[in-house]
Amino acid sequence: MDLYSLIVKDRHGSEFLLDSLRGKVVIVVNTATGCGFTPQYEGLEKLYEKYHDQGLEILDFPCNQFGHQAPGDDNEIHEFCTGKYKTQFDQFKKIDVNGENEDPIFTFLKQEQKQDIIKGMKNKLSMKAIEKISTSCQKEGDIKWNFTKFLIDRNGNVIKRYSPTFLPEDMEDDIKGVI
């Protein structure tokens, strides 16, 4: 299995072939609209605006597995993100990222990068606490919470996995390295 063999559902339920992203730099992120990390949409949008013309795509997968913080339907979530944060990047159907119903894209991503990059002692302590309350995080490599971010190079290689506490703007040097 590779990234380009996968198919996901856009927010309208239509198939989206990840093969169409061949040659692009991609950030995949699981999100929620009612989370303490939700303001990261602003940083993600800034990255998108700055690097989209150079080949950056951001794939936003809402997920309600962590504290039920993405309760709306796909249209409500999209309206919230475009209204409050002016997001322009692609938003996909709400999915599970862990467990027996996890979407294959997250199965693939987690196999490729099993550990989050966590910056700073405070963030490491925060992630330890989050991991303890995350009921869907059952095995090594599972997503611990909303706003786990994966950076994928132009060849479909998953090169980094960032913790929810890792701010999008702190990913910029890594993006520059593959853009």
- Mean pLDDT across the stretch 140-150? 96
Contact 47, 172 (CB under 8 A): yes
CATH numbers and ranges of domains, the chain: 3-178 (3.40.30.10)
Question: C-alpha angle 76/28/6, rounded to 5°?
Answer: 100
Active site residue 81: no
Other CB atoms within 10 Å distance of the CB of residue 106? 22
> In this predicted model, what pLDDT tens digit does every residue of 103-123 receive, in sequence order?
999 999 999 999 999 999 999
List 27's β-bridge partners, or say none: 58, 151
User: Is this model's pTM higher than 0.85 or not?
Assistant: yes
**Residue 17, H or E segment:** strand 15-17
Cα of 24 vs its chain's centroid, Å: 16
Please tell me the predicted confidence (pLDDT) of residue 131.
Answer: 87
**Mean pLDDT, all residues of the chain:** 96
> In this predicted model, what pLDDT tens digit does every residue of 38-93 receive, in sequence order?
999 999 999 999 999 999 999 999 999 999 999 999 999 999 999 999 999 999 99
Bin 63: left if φ > 0, else alpha if -120 < ψ < 50, else beta.
beta
